[in-house]
Structure 1
Amino acid sequence: MAFRYGGRYSPDEARRGTADGRRAPPAPMLHHLASRPKWVTVAATPFLLGAFFQSPLGMATDLAAFGLIALAMWLTREGLAAEAAYDTRRVARRPAFPRKLFGGLLAGLGLGLGAAEPGALAGAGVIGLAGFALHLLAFGADPMRDKGMDDVDSFQQNRAARMIEEGETHLSQMQEAIQKIGDRRLEARVAGFAATVRDLFEQVRDNPGDLSAARRYLGIYLIGARDAAVKFADLYGRTEDPQTRAAFETFLDDLEKGFGAQTDKLLEGDRSDLEIEISVLRDRLVREGVRPAADPASRPPLASPDARDLDGLLSPERDSLRKLP
């Protein structure tokens, strides 16, 4: 199997695939400020290097200052990653732990501690506050509101989140089993399958009502794929039988097609729902005289008979008939 050359920083990497048309694993989501915490940590290295040329108290203070700043930048980097995932998704909860906020507090505390001297605690406090303010200006605040969840059932959303979390665990176990073989081609193949599965994860995360239709894929099928990968890794690691490898790759092909077809089916259902809503509201606007009536021949057909039923429920003529004795 041949792969197109590319890497993390190659253009159009997200849509790049293998030579046989399979999807390549996507590049990780990165925030546009993801490189800044590293440089702040590098800028704090004078605390680390100069600590060994001071008194024991000064050494402990400078080492603590560097440790706080390094921890702050780690928290900030994690907060930026969480914000990138939040911005990418249509429906998302705010981060449970505001990492950037606490990163800013630790950065200010580290700067204040590094600048502290006997009799100059007020100046150290001012430096710490300035460090917190600069951190806020450089990295921004954490997302503090849920997004796109006004009409989402929280119970269903929590169920979908648990199922997706379990599915991510199955995928990780599957990939770990294949990595034990040490075959990069197989690792890339499983990574491509994982990318297709995560498309279904995103669809269910955005529309928790699709969980019932996707339950078998998130549970039974994914557990079966994990178990098959573990058994294949154990057998192929001992025998290196090409027939066993071909059977496993064929199994992945069939399974990937099934997951892709289910994702497309759910997406098509969303499109049908949108067409129904548009058709019903358009007819309602016509009845209220907001827009002229369209030629019936040019009107797109309704995607489902449910739309006609819903349209009838909204019809003022039916309301008037109900009032007749």
Structure 2
Amino acid sequence: MAQRYGGKYSPDGAGDPAALGDTSPPTGKTNSFRSAQVDPVGARANTMFVPGGVLLILSLNDGATGLALGGIAAALWTGAAFLLREGLRAETAFAARRVARKPALPRKILASVLTGAGAALAAWKAEPGIMIAAVYGLTATGLHLAAFGLDPLQDKGVEGVDDFQQSRVARAVDEAEAYLDAMRDAALRARDRQLEARVDQFQAVARDMFRTIEEDPRDLTGARKYLTVYLQGARDATIKFADIYARSQDPQARSDYLALLEDLEQNFAARTQKMLLEDRSDLTIEIDVLRDRLQREGVRLDRN
């Protein structure tokens, strides 16, 4: 059976059991693909950058007016492409969460509007006329909306939980996600692939806690310090470590930081498990209370 080549100086070789000849089944702690996510920005979205460049090149020989109109249209299309990318990412993040607020800025809709405006200007440049420009603009807007859809236009929550509690959870998770994003950005500066994978692994455990809190907002009170104090400290420690490691490549600093991540991961996982057990205990109590009430009403229940 083919095995991946790896050694002391190979990327990820020192920490990869397969690279060292270890064929034992991988454990959950060494699975760096647990938090792997597919970038929602695919080829369709990236190709939206092409029309702007093509239009700008074709406008170079159209005189001052043609070049100005072509440049503005190309700028609108390029801006629409950037908005579309961010809108797709925001939509994916919204879909991944049980409780989430709709994006404050409907980026995909704005991208469609900019695409239509750029098409209208491009049509006006080729053949001046309000009707022609309007037809091309509306058509481009409609096709863009049909291809990429609308932004989430309503907040998402859990049934049976009041809006105030869901709003509290959404704000807390948004703040925690911002800490994780800053932590990830800082880890990238260290230019260490194994360390980046380790940070991703910790973030997957942290997001397990987020999903648990979203399912039962009552857990937010007991877990708030994890979402604020601990994650803020983890972010600050990651930024400090990245600055030191990028300059000195200090192995002791790297070892200390990895030990910190290990401690954080264990604590977050333990707290998440405790919340799940508490939820199960609450369910057991509710079932027992319901059984007692039914028995007082003379209803016999078979306990299987």
TM-score higher than 0.5 here?
A: yes
Return the letter of the residue paired with 2:70. D
2:228 alignment partner, SS class: helix
Q: Distance in 1 between matches of 2:219 and 2:158?
A: 15
Q: Distance in 2 between matches of 1:86 and 1:155?
A: 19
Q: Distance in 2 between matches of 1:282 and 1:222?
A: 42
Give the gaps of 5 or more residues in structure 2. 1-13, 19-24
Q: Of residues 225, 228, 239 in structure 2, which corresponds to 1:219?
A: 228
- Corresponding residue for 1:316? none
Per-residue Cα deviation, 1:48-88 (whole angstroms, up to 9, x for no partner): 21011111100111111111112122222222222222222
Quote the offset at 1:113 in angstroms.
0.8
Q: Of residues 263, 266, 271 in structure 2, which corresponds to 1:254?
A: 263
Q: Distance in 1 between matches of 2:124 and 2:247?
A: 62
Q: Distance in 2 between matches of 1:228 and 1:207?
A: 30
- TM-score norm. by structure 2 comes to 0.76
Q: How does 1:87-236 map to 2 (within 5 A)?
A: 87-117=95-125, 119-230=128-239, 232=241
Quote the offset at 1:126 in angstroms.
0.8
Q: Is the 8 A contact 2:52 2:75 kept in 1?
A: no
- TM-score norm. by structure 1 comes to 0.72
- Corresponding residue for 2:74? 66
Taking only the aligned residue pairs, the percentage that are identical comes to 44
- Corresponding residue for 2:302? 295
Q: Is the 8 A contact 1:18 1:24 kept in 2?
A: no
Give the gaps of 5 or more residues in structure 1. 6-15, 299-325
Per-residue Cα deviation, 1:237-280 (whole angstroms, up to 9, x for no partner): 67766555444433322221111111122233334445555666
RCO higher in structure (CA 8 A, sep ≥6): 2
| Change beyond 3 A, Cα 1:253–1:281 | same
| Change beyond 3 A, Cα 1:96–1:239 | closer
Judge which range, 229-238 or 141-150, deviates more. 229-238
Return the letter of the residue paired with 2:146. L
Return the letter of the residue paired with 1:295. D
Note if 1:3 corresponds to 2:11: no
Rg larger in structure:
1
Return the letter of the residue paired with 2:201. G
Note if 1:270 corresponds to 2:254: no
| Change beyond 3 A, Cα 1:262–1:109 | same
What is the Cα-based RMSD across aligned positions, in Å?
3.5
Return the letter of the residue paired with 2:193. R
